[in-house]
Every structure is written in structure tokens, then in C-alpha cells.
Amino acid sequence: MPEIPVTAGPSAVDRLEEFATEWQSLDRDERVPAFRSLDPTMASDFFLGLESADRAALVGELIPQERRVWIRLLPADEAADLIQDVDEELRISLLALLDRNMRAEVEALLIYREDVAGGKMNPRYARISPEMTGQQALAYLRLQASEHIPLISYIYVVAPDDRLVGIISFRELILTPPARPIREVMNTDVVTVPEDLDQEGLAQVIQRNNLLAVPVVDPEGRMKGVVSIDDVLDVVREEATEDIQKLGGLEALDTPYFQTDFRSMIRKRGGWLSILFVGEMFTATAMSFFEAEIEKAVILAIFVPLIISSGGNSGSQASTLVIRAMALGEVGVREWWRVARREIGIGLALGVLLATIGALRISTWQLAFGSYGDVFPRLAATVALSLVGVVAWGTLAGCSLPFILRRAGFDPASASAPFVATAVDVTGLVIYFSVARLILLG
Amino acid sequence: MPEIPVTAGPSAVDRLEEFATEWQSLDRDERVPAFRSLDPTMASDFFLGLESADRAALVGELIPQERRVWIRLLPADEAADLIQDVDEELRISLLALLDRNMRAEVEALLIYREDVAGGKMNPRYARISPEMTGQQALAYLRLQASEHIPLISYIYVVAPDDRLVGIISFRELILTPPARPIREVMNTDVVTVPEDLDQEGLAQVIQRNNLLAVPVVDPEGRMKGVVSIDDVLDVVREEATEDIQKLGGLEALDTPYFQTDFRSMIRKRGGWLSILFVGEMFTATAMSFFEAEIEKAVILAIFVPLIISSGGNSGSQASTLVIRAMALGEVGVREWWRVARREIGIGLALGVLLATIGALRISTWQLAFGSYGDVFPRLAATVALSLVGVVAWGTLAGCSLPFILRRAGFDPASASAPFVATAVDVTGLVIYFSVARLILLG
């Protein structure tokens, strides 16, 4: 057998990888020339690998002749996603660039929201009839393959009225004896999803059932299309990015970091920052109630940041855990009490831990520098006891806020670390100064 | 054509979905009896749909006869993942339960770390030789299908010395004329990954190239196995969970919320909480330097929480954006200056925004209640000016910390909201009291 040379392939792939990384860091106006400089094969590989929002932005900046080439390269579901991402005017002119069949398919998809199963599905899929034999099915599949129907591991067995009656994998199909009818070998226990299932639910169905693709059916069980796992991979990533950004105390950006302009940055960050600031103003109000106490013992003011930040930090830990567990379906909406019961115990234990460190710190400074004079034992007791209270309360509030937000119809991920900190700072101050009034000031 | 009844299938699927949700919320000791109560089909569907860590925990609690059944159900790569997730002793007894061929495959996989391409790949894959004709290839594929080789959309064209020379999709294979050699129709431009590529990189390659599976090759280009997109979906989810938990200021849990016991919770949360607490102690030190200023104007203490929390919140926004952009490959390790330049502008703008709100608040209280007496104009100026400085500094520090952590070899995601807040609180205090010394106290 002749030696087969190692192909030049991998280096083209590496070049694509490299270009894609570079491109991400280009400014908006540098992108079109960079894209145009690619050779045709690499340009189409690159275009197909882009996320929908990036693709829409790019197509928006091209001239109509180029747009025609690129939009026609996409399968119907991805063309529909792109068209949903551009403004009204461009939408109409992009639709006009499609051929008649494709336009009809894309328009059918545009009635679905982009983030539900109907909007994610590809209306073209490999289908056979239950009455075909193994040989007929393979021949029919060959015909569909020549018409650019995507083949992703499963073939759908569909009745003449479009109802999905079974599914057969490639493996099973090529093992089916030529004369055997498909209905005798197909699997009838099919996982399907409704057209309006949201994308998070879609990801869970695919992941839990270990699928590579899932058929979308209407309430009568008629096939509408197929969602493939690679569409879901993008969803999982996008949803995680949104949650992470919300957890950082800002609105989700929708666009990559360097593509987000100054104005949107200020809007997405300034909004939440102002809300948090107004919330945090209550600390000034709370502290002014205790002005007399601070005047009597200025030393009290010194520990304010330490005490309230401990409540915020423990609260942020608890809320983060609950938010992610909710997103993954590990914790249900009705399990507040089950969570709260655990968290009270954990909060008290963590409070005792910090109280011990805090008391040690104060005792060390007293022994080394005599920093606190006569009030030392009462100060140490005040700080330690406040820490137990503040950390336990922070933990309980942190684990409860996602449930409260969800119940009120908001995204639980809005219970970000800054949000929780703001929510518990005022109570932290009240706990601290109340304990101080009792112990330190008698 | 006879009417085909709607199968009983979907309801079995729904029952599985329901059971999986319920199971997530069961305590550890309730899980084994629940699992045993399933009928065999549902039990195996459920077992195959579990994540590796859950599977390992479950198998650990079963008796040896049951373990044999379940571990033999898994493909080699998943069996290896499971075995890597249990302790040494159980590992050996689980390996002994496999048949000889499978044990050899699993042992070969165990030399790879679980989170690199070599550890994620399946060593069984559909392969053909470049010299085969279309017809021979299809016949050979049929043979492999009957031996339970998984078929995932692509067939790999491999030379006798195991070097990967090409790839062909199912679609292309069934369209290949019976007498045509595969080497004339195969694609030689193949995306491959090395055995030691980490799982984040693996996910990026699959996503960017829109693949359903990617071959793993050694430095000589020899096929070692195939990583399928469904393994990568789990990776993307796990990595996001880890990042989110780190961003909440705690160590990643590794196990679902309700499955994490009290002791691990205290360890994973108490560790970071103590570090943050010790860091935050410097605020007490910083404030004691300004004790004289506070004694002169107790009013200053009242705005401390408001000022420092604003620095923490703006810093947390900036660090979150940078961390996620780094994880998605949108921002490179060397782009600190490019990010910092943007963030300084954004930080100043956000600072001016909060300063305006702060000045308005103080003016309103002064007009309504005369709260601040003579010092009002100087107090308003102090608070406003400090806010601009604290927010701009918080933003700059927040966007820089992920770069610093990464440079020092840590995970940038450790620059969590609580971590950033702690890092900027001390500087926030210094800025505030320095401004106060200048403006308020002359």
C-alpha cells in the first residue's frame, strides 16, 4: 500500500483558529476588511463558526452582493436566527435575497421566538416512512442526502400525515436486513419537545437523555423540525454568560466585551450601580440613628466595614449556590424551607468561625499595643457576638433572596453579590449597634 | 396504509424526566432505594443520563453484583471517568468487574487526566481504510456497527499505521459510488486535537468549528480516539458552574447542592470567608489611622459604608466582565492595557453618575431636615469627590485583578465580587478620609 502523505489540512485549521481569536479582539470597523481578506474556503468556515449575533453584525456591514452569498450559505434555522438579530429594514432586504423555497422555510421559523425550540430547530431533517423496507429506506436516505438534508445520527420515521411514529439510528438502519420493514425495527419510545419549550428546558432534555438531536412536534404529534446538540451548546454557553454577568451586579451585555460600546456599557452597568447606590444610602440613614453611640465610642466606627462586609460575603456565597443550583434544576422553587434550614446551621457555624478570628485579632492588638484600653473585653464581645448574628443573618437572607425574586417574577440571578451585600448592610449595622448598646455602652 | 397508533413512549420519557428531577432533591441515603425501585429500562436510561460524579456516588453505594451490571453498561470513556471519581480501593474492585478487553481500554484511558482530551475520548470509533471502495466501506461499517462501535455522523479514514488521513461524513459515504475509492472522496482538511488539550480548549475547538465530534491524535498523527459533542456539553456546564461558584466567593463544590454535606460546605465556604475576613481587617487598621478625623466630625463615619460599597460594586462589575470575556476567549492575557484604558473612562463616568446622585441626596436632606448644618457644602463636595475617585479606582482595580491572578498562576475567576470588594475597601477608606481632610477639615 502506498504511503499516504500527511495532508496540509491541519495547518489550514490552525490558521482558522488563529484568525478567529484575532478577530474577536478587532474593533468593529476593522472586521469587514479582515473578513474580506480571507480566501473563500476559510471565509466560509469562519462564517459558519461565528455565533449568530456576530454573524448578524458582520452581514449588516457588507454590501448586498456579499450578503446574498453569505446568507445563502446558512441552513434555514441559522438564517432565521440571523434575520431575527438585525433591524426591521435590513430584515426585509435579507429575506429578499433568499430563493423562494428557503424564504418560505425561514418565514415559517420567524414566527417562533429565537429562544424556544421552534426557533432553534432546523425544518429539514432525514425522514423515512414506517412501511419502507431497510433497502428502500437507505435508497430514500441517499436521495435526501443528495438534496443537502443534514444527517445527524438519527433518521425520523414519519407517517403520511406528518406524525412522528418512530426513530432509527444510522447504526440500526445499516444493520436492518434489506427486506425488513422499518416499522419492525424502529424505536417508538421517542423523546420529543414541544415548539414553545424554552432553550434552558431544551438543553436539559438533550443533556439528561444523552441525545445528539431532538425532534420538535406540535400538540398533535406532527414533526416540525429537529434541534441539534450543537445549537444547544451555544445556548448553554450564552445562558451561563448571562447569569455570570447578572451575578456581577450588571445587566447581561448581549455582545462580546470589546464589541460593547461605551454608551451601552454605562447603561448596563450604571443602571444597577445606581439602584445599589440608592439602596446603600439606607446605611447612612441607619448610621445617623446611632450617631450618639459613635460619639460616645468612636472605636465602634472602626469595625463597621469589617462587620458589614462579613454579612455581605456570607450572603453572596449562599445566594450564588442557590442561584446556580436552581439553574441546574438541583433545587426546586418550592424548596426554600429545606434550603433555609441547612443554611441557618451553616451560617451560625461560619459566624462562630469569623467571631473567633475577630476576637483573636482584637486580643492580639490589645496585648501587643494596648489599642483598646479598658473597653477591650466589652469590645471583643461586641464584635464577636455581632459577627455571629450578622453572618447567620447574611447567609439566611442570601439563600432566600433568589426564591423571593423568582416568586416575584424576576430572574433569581439578579440576587448578585452586590445586591445581597446591599440588602444585608443595613441590617448588619442595626445588629452591630444594637449589640454594642447592650454590651459596650451598657 | 393502516393507522399507526401514537406510542406509549412519550409517557415513559416524561416519567424519566420527572424521576430525574425528584432524584436530584433526594438525600444521599434515599437515592439507592429510589434507584432500585425503577424498572430495568428506565433504570438504565436514568443511569446513562447521570453526570459522572453522580454516577460514581451511586455505584459506590451499590452491592458488587449490581455494580457489575451498571459499570458494564458504560462505554470505555465513561467507565474511566466513573472510576476516576471513586476512591483507590473501590477503583481496583470496579476494574476487576470489567471484561478483559474493556479493562484494557479503560486502563489505557486512566493514564490521562479526566479533564483533557485523552480522558474525554472514546477509544472506539468507526474507521475505514483509504483504499476501500464506497461499497467495501459501507460493508465494513456494517460490521463495526454490529460490534457496538458508536457512529456519530463522521467516519475516520485511517492508514494501516493508525495515522488519520481523512474524514468522511455519513452523508458523503452513502452518496459515494460503489466502485469509487474512499481516498478520492474523503476530506483531508481535518480538525484534530492533541491528547493533552484541556477541556476548555476542547470545547472551544468543537464550538468554533461547528463539529459533532473531534478526533484525538498523538504527536505523530496517529488516532487515539474521538471526543463527542455530548461530552463537551457537560464540560461547558461544569466549567460555568465552577466559575459561578468562584465568583460568589467560595470554592467550587464538585457536587450538587443537596449532596454536599455540612463539613464540605463549611470547608469550601469558611476558607474563603476567613481569607476575606482577614483581608477586610485592614479596614479597621485604616480607620484607626483616621480616628482623629472621625472624632472631629462623626458625620464622616456615617457615609463610610456608602462610599466603600460603591467601590466594591463597580469593581465587581468590571472583574466579572473581564473574567467571563477571558473564559470565552474574547479578551487575551496580554490585553490588560487595552481593557484598562476603556475601564478608566467607564469608571470615571460611573463615578460622576454616583457622585451626582450622592450630592442630590445630601442636598435634599439638608433642605428638608437641615441634617448637616454648616458643614453641608463641604460635606457634599467631600462625598461627591470621593465617589468619583473610589468608583474609578474600584473599576480599574476590578478589571486588573483577573489579569494579575492569571499572571500569578491562579484562576482569574477567583477575583470574585467579595474578593474585589475586600481589595478596594481599604483604598476606598484612604481616598475618602484624605479628601475629607483636604475639603471638610481644612
Please count the other Cβ atoms lying within 10 Å of the Cβ belonging to residue A110: 17
Across the interface, whether the CB atoms of A306 and B317 are under 8 A apart is answered no
Residues of A with Cβ-Cβ distance to B188 under 8 angstroms = 7-9
**Domain contains A63:** yes
pLDDT of the residue at B411? 85
**Domain contains A371:** yes
The verdict on B254 touching A (C-beta cutoff 8 Å) is no
Same domain flag for A310 and A412? yes
Q: Of A303-312, A394-403, B243-252, give the lowest mean pLDDT range.
A: B243-252
Distance CA B241, CA B234 (A): 11
The pLDDT-based confidence of A216 (bands split at 50, 70, 90) is very high
Across the interface, whether the CB atoms of B335 and A191 are under 8 A apart is answered no
Same domain flag for B332 and B361? yes
Distance CA B342, CA B338 (A): 7
pLDDT of residue B329 exceeding 60: yes
SS3 A226: strand
* Between residues B51 and B432, the one the model is more confident about: B432
pLDDT averaged over every residue in chain A: 87
Same domain flag for A95 and A179? no
Q: What percent of chain B has pLDDT over 90?
A: 33
Helix (H) or strand (E) holding A127: strand A127-128
Q: For chain A, what is the domain count?
A: 3
- Put simply, the chain A residues between 388 and 407 with a CB less than 8 A from any chain B CB are 391
Last residue of a domain, one of B111, B141, B169: B111
pLDDT of the residue at A155? 92
The pLDDT tens digits of the residues spanning A2-42 come to: 333 334 444 666 777 788 878 877 877 888 888 988 888 88
Q: Of A115-124, A246-255, A347-356, B305-314, give the lowest mean pLDDT range.
A: A246-255
Query: How far is C-alpha B244 from the geometric centre of its chain's CA atoms?
Result: 7
ipTM rounded to 2 decimals: 0.72
- CATH code, domain carrying A86: 1.25.60.10
From the candidates A6, A27, A208, which should be mutated to test the interface with B, based on the most B CB atoms within 10 A?
Answer: A208
Distance CA B173, CA B181 (A): 11
pLDDT of residue A279 exceeding 60: yes
Strand pairing class (A154-158; A164-169): antiparallel
Nearest CA in chain A to B237: A236
Nearest CA to B52 out of B237, B211, B203, B196 is that of: B237
| C-beta separation of B4 from A159 below 8 A | yes
pLDDT of the residue at B393? 95
Same domain flag for B28 and B104? yes
CB-based burial of residue B206 (10 Å sphere; 0-12 exposed, 13-18 middle, 19+ buried)? buried
Same domain flag for A222 and A282? no
pLDDT of the residue at B11? 62
Same domain flag for B107 and B140? no
pLDDT averaged over every residue in chain B: 87
The pLDDT tens digits of the residues spanning B1-41 come to: 333 333 444 566 677 778 887 887 787 788 888 898 888 88
| C-beta separation of B289 from A409 below 8 A | no
Last residue of a domain, one of A58, A81, A111: A111
* Between residues B167 and A102, the one the model is more confident about: B167
Residues of B with Cβ-Cβ distance to A13 under 8 angstroms = 189-192, 209
Across the interface, whether the CB atoms of B324 and A229 are under 8 A apart is answered no
How does DSSP classify residue A6?
P
Same domain flag for B160 and B210? yes
The pLDDT tens digits of the residues spanning B403-423 come to: 999 888 888 888 788 888 888
The verdict on B199 touching A (C-beta cutoff 8 Å) is no
pLDDT of the residue at B236? 83
Distance CA A201, CA B156 (A): 33
Question: Which of A49, A175, A357 is opposite residue B142, by nearest beta carbon?
Answer: A175
Q: Of A48-52, B117-121, B168-172, give the lowest mean pLDDT range.
A: A48-52
SS3 A218: coil
Question: Which of B17, B165, B212 is opposite residue A152, by nearest beta carbon?
Answer: B212
Give the count of alpha carbons within 13 A of A119, CB side only: 18
The pLDDT tens digits of the residues spanning A32-50 come to: 888 988 888 888 888 888 8
From the candidates A168, A322, A330, A432, which should be mutated to test the interface with B, based on the most B CB atoms within 10 A?
Answer: A330
Same domain flag for A307 and A353? yes
pLDDT of the residue at A3? 37
| C-beta separation of A64 from A93 below 8 A | yes
The strands making up B164-169's β-sheet, listed across from edge to edge, are: B127-128, B154-158, B164-169
* Between residues A84 and A403, the one the model is more confident about: A403
pLDDT of the residue at A11? 61
Same domain flag for A337 and A224? no
Nearest CA to B164 out of B155, B175, B172 is that of: B155
**Nearest CA-CA distance, residue B408 and chain A, Å:** 23
SS3 A101: helix
Across the interface, whether the CB atoms of A257 and B358 are under 8 A apart is answered no
**Domain contains A119:** no
The pLDDT tens digits of the residues spanning A55-104 come to: 888 888 888 888 888 888 888 888 888 888 888 888 888 888 888 888 88
Nearest CA to B417 out of A427, A279, A420, A265 is that of: A420
Across the interface, whether the CB atoms of B249 and A287 are under 8 A apart is answered no
Same domain flag for A196 and A266? no
Provide the residue range defining the domain that includes A297: 257-439
Across the interface, whether the CB atoms of B417 and A418 are under 8 A apart is answered yes
The pLDDT tens digits of the residues spanning B348-406 come to: 999 999 999 999 999 998 998 887 888 889 999 999 999 999 999 999 999 999 999 98
- CATH code, domain carrying A155: 3.10.580.10
Question: Which of A10, A131, A303 is opposite residue B192, by nearest beta carbon?
Answer: A10
Distance CA A153, CA B310 (A): 53
**Domain contains B352:** yes
Across the interface, whether the CB atoms of B274 and A229 are under 8 A apart is answered no
pLDDT of the residue at A2? 36
Same domain flag for B107 and B136? no
Cα angle B410, B416, B421 (rounded to 5 degrees) comes to 120
**Domain contains B263:** yes
- CATH code, domain carrying B335: 1.10.357.20
Q: What is the mean pLDDT of residues B164-168?
A: 94
The verdict on B139 touching A (C-beta cutoff 8 Å) is no
Nearest CA to A417 out of B239, B427, B398 is that of: B398
Nearest CA to A157 out of A221, A83, A78, A207 is that of: A221
Last residue of a domain, one of A209, A228, A247: A228
Q: Of A352-361, B205-214, B215-224, give the lowest mean pLDDT range.
A: B205-214
Residues of A with Cβ-Cβ distance to B265 under 8 angstroms = 342, 346
The verdict on A298 touching B (C-beta cutoff 8 Å) is yes
Q: What is the mean pLDDT of residues A319-327?
A: 88
Nearest CA in chain A to B264: A346
The pLDDT tens digits of the residues spanning A179-211 come to: 999 999 999 989 999 999 988 888 888 888 888
Distance CA B353, CA B335 (A): 27
Please count the other Cβ atoms lying within 10 Å of the Cβ belonging to residue B64: 10
The verdict on B45 touching A (C-beta cutoff 8 Å) is yes
**Domain contains A240:** no
Nearest CA in chain B to A249: B317
**Domain contains B121:** no
Same domain flag for B131 and B97? no
The verdict on A92 touching B (C-beta cutoff 8 Å) is no
pLDDT of the residue at B151? 74
The verdict on B363 touching A (C-beta cutoff 8 Å) is no
pLDDT of the residue at B304? 92
Cα angle A326, A81, B317 (rounded to 5 degrees) comes to 45
pLDDT of the residue at B186? 94
Q: B25's torsion region: left (phi>0), alpha (psi -120 to 50) or beta?
A: alpha
pLDDT of residue A147 exceeding 80: no
**Domain contains A221:** yes
Strand pairing class (A213-217; A193-194): parallel
Instruction: Output phi, psi for A224, to 5 deg.
Output: -110, -30
Nearest CA to A229 out of B213, B38, B410 is that of: B213
